[in-house]
Structure 1
Amino acid sequence: MPSIDFVILDRERNVQVRFQRTALETKCDPSASYSVIDGILQRTDGELAACAIESVEAADAPLLVKWTLPVPKVEHIPRADIQKLDYLANFLEVSSSGLHQGVKLLVPNNKGYIMSSHIFEERLRGAPYIRKVEEYVYPRQLVGPPVLSDSSLAALIQSVVCCITVDGVNPESVAQSLDARRLAVIGELRPYSMSWRCFQAARALGVSVVAYGPPGHWLEAESQGSQFREAFIPLDLTGDAGLPSRIVNAVKDYPEPIDGITTVTEFLLVAAAQAAEQLNLSTSPSQAYSKSVNKYQCRLKDGSNSCLLVRSTAELHDLVATNEETVPVPGPPWIVKPCNGWHSLNVVKASNYEALLEAVQKVSSHAAYTRAAPAKGDPRWQTDALVEEYCDGPEVDCNFVLWTGQVLFFEEMQLLFPSALPRAEQNALRDSLLQSILRLGFNSGVSHVEARVRHSNHEYRETDGQTMDLHPRPNPPASDPGIFLIEINARPPGYVDTCSSAFANGVDLFALQILIARGDEERVHALSQPFQVPPHVAIAAIQAERSGTVVSDDPWGDLRNRDPALMDHVVQHVMNFEKGEHVEDPSLDTTPWLSAFMAYSTASRADLLKLCADVKARFVCRIE
C-alpha cells in the first residue's frame, strides 16, 4: 500500500486524530504473520477543510477521512465499532490530552485464531521507548488480513490487532479453530499476589478454570477470585490414599465437561496425575511424578550411588558400623535434606560426622511440606533424611518444556538471565538433564531442574568487593565439566522465577503448563519460542533484618516515590508479608524472604547487578 494519510473525526467528542506519513509494510521476513502501519498520532483540531465534511449528514457517528485524494473521502465508522474495538476511543483519549506519539498498528497477513490474547503485552513488557501496548483481541478470536482497496480504509483500521509505539511482534495465530476448554486447578496454595499471573495466562488462552481447594480460599471470594475462575469447588486436600478419588468425584460432579487437571503444589502432583489417569485426561504418568517428588528415588533413577536414605540417627550409626566406620557417601562435607520437601526447607550442610548426626536428627523428626513445627503423631507428614555428596561447582536452575520427548524450550538460570556459563556447559546441562527427566518417565511437560556443574570453568566470586557473579576460573580444572543432578521438579519454577522467565525470554511457563495439561500440541509448539536477543534480567530477594510486625503500608510504592528512575527498572515485585503480619526470626531457615523483585537492564549484566544492589540498599520496610 502506498503512503496514506487519514483522520478520524469524532464530532460528538469534538476530537480529530490524524495518522500521517503512514505506510503498510511487512517487516523484514516476507513470510511474517503481520504487517505494520507506521504513523504519528496527533491532535488536529480545526485542520479539516469544510469541503471534506459539508456533504456528510449532521450526525454524531464518527468519520474516517482519507486525506491523500484530491477531494478528501469520508467514510462513516459506526460508533458501535469504536465501542467494540476500543482502540479508536483510546486513540482519541490520548490525543485529547495533548500527547503526540509515534504508533505502529499491527494487522494480520493471514487468517487464523489468536493463541493468547496478551502475547503482545507479555513480550513487550519493559521494552524501551514503549508508551503503551494496546491489544484488541480476545482468546480464540478469528482474525485475518484486511481487504485493501481505495474504499477499505475503515476495514483496514478495524482489522488492527495491536497498537504499539515500537516494532511489532508476531500475533501468534493458528489456522485451526480453537475450541473452548475447561481446566481443573487443584490446590493453589499461594496467595493472590503470588499466583495471579497463572490465572491470567489461562484467561488469555481462553481456558476456563474450575478451582478446587479448601473452603475460605481467596479464589472462593467473589470480590477477588471470580475474575480468575469459572467456579470454586471446596475439596478436602488431605494427602491420604483417598485424595485421587475425591478429585475424580469432584471433577465428575461438575456440570460441565473438564478437559484437563493440573497443579503446581508439590504434594498434590501425584494425586492429580492419578485422578487424570482415572478420567482418561492428558497427563504424564503418575509413577513418574512419584519418583520426582521422592528425591531419593529421583537420584537412584539417575544412577547415582552418592546418596543414602536413613530414617534416624540410629540407622545411620548402623550403616557406618557395617561400612568400616565410614559414611558410605563421599564426604565430608555432606548435604542432608528431606526426602520429600519443598522451598529448600531443612537443607543442611554437614562438615563432620557429629554435624551429620545433628542434621539427620533434625530432618528425620520434621514435617515435610510445611514451615510449621513437626506434626507429632501424623505419619503422613514425616520424611526420611537424604544424605548426599556435596558437589563444589556453580549451582544452576534449568527450565525445560518438553513435548513427546523433544525439547521445545530450555533455559539455564540462577537468578540472572541470560546464563553466564560457557555455551559448552549449557549444552552439557541440557543434554544430561534431559536424559534424567526422560528416565523418570516424563515425555511432555514443564520441568524445573536443579543441578551443579562439577569442574566448571567458571566460579562465583567478588570482583569489586561487593558484587558476586560468575567469572572464569584463573586456573581451569584439569577434568572435563560434569553434571551433578540435585532434583527434578515436574512443574514450573516458583512464581517470581516463572514471571522472570516470561519477561526475559517471552515464554510463559504457566501458559505452557496449562496447554500441556489439555494436550494442545500446536499452541505448545508456537508459544515455546524464545526471544532471539533477551534482555539482562535478575531476580533478587530481600530478607528481613529482624523479627517483628510489619508496619509499612507500601514499601515499594514508597521507593517509587523516592526514586522513580530506579524503579523504572523494576518490572515486578512481591511481598511475602503485608502490614500487620508478623515476621519470625530471619536467621531461621523456615522464615521466608520478606520481599522479592525482578529488575532488568538493556546495558549489561554488570549494570543489572548494580541496579539490584541499589534497589536493595534503598528499599525500606519498617518492622517493629
Structure 2
Amino acid sequence: MRNTYACSIYTDIQTKGMIIPLEWKINPPSELRYCWTVDVVFNVHLVSSAGEVNYSYPVHEGHKSSGNCPNNIPLDASSPWGAYVIDNLRHLSQPGAEILNDSITIKFIFPDRSGFCIRSDFLQRRLEGYIGMSSARSFLQPRQEIHHATLPNEAHPNAFSLPEILSNAVGGIVVKSADALDQLETELDNRLAFPWISPRCPPFRRIAYVKGRWNMDHSKRIWEAASALGIAVVIIDEEGHWLQDSQWEHVREGFIPVNVDTDEGFVERLVTAVRGRMVQVALACEKLGLPTSPSAAFAIAADKFKSRQIEPDEGADALWMPSIEHLKDFLSSDSPQIQYPVVVKPCIGWGSECISKVHNERELIQAATRASERHSTSSVQRPDIMIEPYIEGPEIDANVVLADGEIVFFEVADDFPSLADREQNKWDDPFQETFMVLPTRLPQNEVEEMKNSLHRTLLRQGFRDGVFNCEGRVRYSCMQFASHDGQYDLFEKMGDEAPPQKPTFYLHEINARPPGYYGNVASNLTYGVDYYALDILCAVGDMQRFRALAQPFRLGPQWWLVITVIPEEKEGIMKTEDACGDFIRKFPGLEAVIPDYMTYKKGGSRLDGPAASHQSFVGYMSVISRQNREDALQLARRIRRDFVYELT
C-alpha cells in the first residue's frame, strides 16, 4: 500500500489569505492507459487564515496532521493545476454552492512516456458521462509536446515536492468524494486505454468545410473537435451564412463565400476557392491532390439504385424508373406484376424524405409522383426513382470506421418501427425514427453477418478509409419487435415464428459520412468514439490519429441509450420557446438521465405536421440507463407520452 502524505497550501483567493490542509497519494502505474495518477484531497473544512499544518511525512491510520510549520506551499495560479484548483475553490465559495464532504478531491493525470498530444480535450471527452466525477479538465494545448513524468521516489518525500510533481500533470478530474478515487482509478483503465500520446508531432493541417451547419447547437462538437485536434477550419458557404459573422471567428480561421449549388460549375468554383458535396467535393479534392476516397465511390453511395445494383443477388429485386411517365408505361405494359408491398424512394435523397411503403398501384403512382418531384426545384435535377421490396426484419443503423480497408470500429443501434412499418400503413406515413437504441439487442452472429456484409459492400463501392453511416434490415432474424409483459422491444421468435434459414443483411443505403448530429453524439457518449473527429482526420490523411481515436472504451458501452425523437403531432407555429429544454427543467432528475438533447423547432418555427414529406420533428432527447435496456426504454416512452408544447 502506498503512503499518504500531508501538507498545506496557501492562496489569496477572494483577496484574503487562506491556508488549506491537504493529503496526497501517488498511485501505482498502469500498463493499460499510458499514465499514472496522484490523488489530492483539499480539506476545505479545515481552512485557516493563520495556522499552519505540518507536512512531509506519511499519514497513518489514526494519525492526523498536526503541529506547526513556518512554511506553506503557495498555490501558483499561473500553473494549469493551480488554476484548476482555484476554479474549484471559487465555485465552492459561491452562494448556494454545495460542498460535498467538506473537501475538494482531485485525481491528477501524468504521462508515463514522452510524445505529443493527439487531441487536447481527450480527458473531458473520454470521461463524459462518468457518474463519479464532478468535472474533468485537460491541461494540454492542441499538438502539444508531452514530457515523460517520472514516478517520484516515495522513500524520500520532500516538503515542496508536490508542486514540482503537479507541474507535470496533463489533466485533472474532480471526483464527488474521496471514496470514489479507487473506483475512478479502475475506470481510467477502461476509458484511457488508447494511445493518446503520439511518438510524432501531428503536422499542422487546414480543412475547407463545405456548407456550414444550420446553427451552433447543431455543429458545436464539429468545431470543438477540429480545435482540439489542432486543425484550422475554413468555411465555404453562401454569402451571409451565420458562420461568416465575426462573432464566430474563434470557430473558423476564415470564411470564403461561394455559390455551393451542386450544379455543373460547382467543382471548378470549389477548386478556385481553395487555391479555393460528396461526389463534387471528392472531384475537387482529386483535382487538388488532397486525400479523398475515389469520387466514383461517392457517386455509387449517393445513388440508392447504383448501390443496390452492385449488391450480389440483390440488384434484381429493385426497379429503376427515370420518371413517373416511364413508371406508368411500365405498369400498362406486359411487364411482370409488382409484388406488393414495395418501397418507393428517390434515387438521390436523405433523411428518409419522400420514402413510402405502398400496397397497390394507386398508392404506387401517388408515392412515385412525390418522390420524382423531390428535386424538381433544387440544383440537382433528378426525377428518377427506385422501387424495391419491403423487407421484413429488424431495421438497424450501423456505423463503420474503415482504415486502409480494415474495419477498426463497428457499432449497431436498433431502429424501432416507424409509422410506415405498420401492417396497414398509409402510403404517406413517414419512415421517420421513433426510438433508436444503443447498443443493439440482436445476437452476435447477426451482428457479425451485417458487419461482414457492410464491409464487403464498402470495398465493392471503392472505399478504403472513412466513417460510414449505414442502414438496412436483418432478413430471417431470430428476433422481432413484439410486446411482452407490457414492454415493446426486440424479442426472440418462438416456435413456428423461428426463421426458415440463416440471417442475411439487406442494405438500404450507405451514407458516406458520419451519422447525423444526434447519432454522432449518442455514439460518442456511449462508446467514446467521436465520428466528427475521425471524419476530419481522414480528410487530412492523418490515419495514425484516426486509428488511435477510433478505439472505444475497453469494456464496451457505458450505458444503454435511447435516442427519443419528439414528433410533430400537428401543423402550426411553435409557441413554446424551447420545448425540450423546458420539459427537462420541469422535472427534477431528468438532467441526470438525459446527457444530450436538442430542440429543433424553437419558438416561432413552423411545424409541418406528421404528413410532411421531409424529415421534420420538434427535437430529440438521448435517454440513458446504467441499469438495463428496459429501464431506458420505459423512461423514453414516458417522456414521449408526457411531452407537451404549445402552438399559436
Q: TM-score, normalised by structure 1?
A: 0.88
> What's 2:113 paired with?
110
Do the aligned residues in 2 keep the contact of 1:85 with 1:136 (CA within 8 Å)? no
The question of 1:308 aligning with 2:319 is answered: yes
Q: Distance in 2 between matches of 1:92 and 1:13?
A: 13
Aligned counterpart in structure 2 of residue 236 of structure 1, from 248, 255, 259: 259
The question of 1:458 aligning with 2:459 is answered: no
Q: Secondary structure at the match of 1:182?
A: strand
Do the aligned residues in 2 keep the contact of 1:114 with 1:143 (CA within 8 Å)? yes
> What's 2:389 paired with?
389
Aligned residues: 583
Q: Secondary structure at the match of 2:274?
A: helix
Do the aligned residues in 2 keep the contact of 1:559 with 1:567 (CA within 8 Å)? no
The question of 1:427 aligning with 2:435 is answered: no
Do the aligned residues in 1 keep the contact of 2:466 with 2:513 (CA within 8 Å)? yes
Q: Structure 1 residues 5 and 617 mapped into 2: Cα distance closer, same or farther (>3 Å)?
A: farther
The question of 1:24 aligning with 2:27 is answered: yes
The question of 1:3 aligning with 2:25 is answered: no
Aligned counterpart in structure 2 of residue 158 of structure 1, from 151, 167, 173: 167
What is the CA-CA distance between 1:513 and the residue it aligns to?
A: 0.3
The question of 1:284 aligning with 2:293 is answered: yes
Do the aligned residues in 1 keep the contact of 2:262 with 2:379 (CA within 8 Å)? no
RMSD: 2.4
Q: Structure 1 residues 94 and 399 mapped into 2: Cα distance closer, same or farther (>3 Å)?
A: same
What is the CA-CA distance between 1:94 and the residue it aligns to?
A: 4.4
Q: Distance in 1 between matches of 2:642 and 2:71?
A: 56
What is the CA-CA distance between 1:473 and the residue it aligns to?
A: 1.0
> What's 2:348 paired with?
340
Q: Distance in 2 between matches of 1:237 and 1:144?
A: 45
The question of 1:351 aligning with 2:359 is answered: yes
The question of 1:82 aligning with 2:79 is answered: yes
Do the aligned residues in 2 keep the contact of 1:405 with 1:444 (CA within 8 Å)? yes
Q: Secondary structure at the match of 1:558?
A: helix
Q: Deviations over 1:286-323 (max 9, x none)?
A: 11001110111111122321111102343224435555
> What's 1:58 paired with?
none
Q: Structure 1 residues 588 and 418 mapped into 2: Cα distance closer, same or farther (>3 Å)?
A: same
Q: Secondary structure at the match of 1:123?
A: helix
> What's 2:617 paired with?
593
Q: Distance in 1 between matches of 2:217 and 2:126?
A: 21
One-letter amino acid of the structure 2 residue matched with residue 563 of structure 1: F
Q: Distance in 1 between matches of 2:514 and 2:581?
A: 29
The question of 1:173 aligning with 2:197 is answered: yes
Q: Distance in 2 between matches of 1:125 and 1:51?
A: 36
Q: Deviations over 1:62-99 (max 9, x none)?
A: xxx64659986957658463378621322432454655
Aligned counterpart in structure 2 of residue 471 of structure 1, from 465, 486, 491: 491
What is the CA-CA distance between 1:196 and the residue it aligns to?
A: 1.5
Q: Deviations over 1:207-238 (max 9, x none)?
A: 11001001121111122x22211111111111
Q: Secondary structure at the match of 2:244?
A: coil
Aligned counterpart in structure 2 of residue 187 of structure 1, from 211, 231, 253: 211
Q: Distance in 1 between matches of 2:42 and 2:77?
A: 22
> What's 1:446 paired with?
467
Q: Distance in 2 between matches of 1:449 and 1:205?
A: 26
Q: Where do 1:562-601 residues align within 5 Å?
A: 562-590=586-614, 592-601=616-625
Q: Secondary structure at the match of 2:570?
A: coil
Q: Deviations over 1:7-55 (max 9, x none)?
A: 22114542333431523322xx435311121242321322875596xxx
Q: Secondary structure at the match of 1:610?
A: helix
Q: Distance in 1 between matches of 2:299 and 2:148?
A: 49
Q: Structure 1 residues 556 and 585 mapped into 2: Cα distance closer, same or farther (>3 Å)?
A: closer
Q: Distance in 2 between matches of 1:503 and 1:496?
A: 11
Q: Structure 1 residues 125 and 30 mapped into 2: Cα distance closer, same or farther (>3 Å)?
A: closer
Q: Structure 1 residues 507 and 126 mapped into 2: Cα distance closer, same or farther (>3 Å)?
A: same
One-letter amino acid of the structure 2 residue matched with residue 130 of structure 1: M
Aligned counterpart in structure 1 of residue 132 of structure 2, from 114, 125, 129: 129
Q: Where do 1:515-530 residues align within 5 Å?
A: 515-530=537-552
> What's 1:259 paired with?
none
Q: Distance in 2 between matches of 1:470 and 1:7?
A: 57
Q: Secondary structure at the match of 1:530?
A: coil
One-letter amino acid of the structure 2 residue matched with residue 231 of structure 1: G
What is the CA-CA distance between 1:585 and the residue it aligns to?
A: 2.8
The question of 1:296 aligning with 2:305 is answered: yes
Which range moved further: 445-454 or 297-306? 297-306
What is the CA-CA distance between 1:145 and the residue it aligns to?
A: 3.4
Do the aligned residues in 2 keep the contact of 1:499 with 1:508 (CA within 8 Å)? yes
Aligned counterpart in structure 2 of residue 605 of structure 1, from 629, 639, 645: 629
What is the CA-CA distance between 1:197 and the residue it aligns to?
A: 1.0
Q: Structure 1 residues 588 and 518 mapped into 2: Cα distance closer, same or farther (>3 Å)?
A: same
Q: Secondary structure at the match of 2:601?
A: coil
Q: Structure 1 residues 244 and 6 mapped into 2: Cα distance closer, same or farther (>3 Å)?
A: farther
What is the CA-CA distance between 1:123 and the residue it aligns to?
A: 2.0
Q: Secondary structure at the match of 2:639?
A: helix
How many percent identity over aligned positions? 28
Q: Structure 1 residues 389 and 73 mapped into 2: Cα distance closer, same or farther (>3 Å)?
A: farther
Do the aligned residues in 1 keep the contact of 2:580 with 2:620 (CA within 8 Å)? no
Structure 2, gaps ≥5 residues long? 60-66, 176-183, 415-435
Q: Distance in 2 between matches of 1:15 and 1:334?
A: 74
Q: Structure 1 residues 73 and 175 mapped into 2: Cα distance closer, same or farther (>3 Å)?
A: farther
What is the CA-CA distance between 1:553 and the residue it aligns to?
A: 2.5
What is the CA-CA distance between 1:599 and the residue it aligns to?
A: 1.5
Which range moved further: 604-613 or 471-480? 471-480
Aligned counterpart in structure 1 of residue 438 of structure 2, from 400, 417, 422: 417
> What's 2:48 paired with?
46
Do the aligned residues in 2 keep the contact of 1:82 with 1:89 (CA within 8 Å)? no
The question of 1:553 aligning with 2:577 is answered: yes
Do the aligned residues in 2 keep the contact of 1:6 with 1:68 (CA within 8 Å)? no
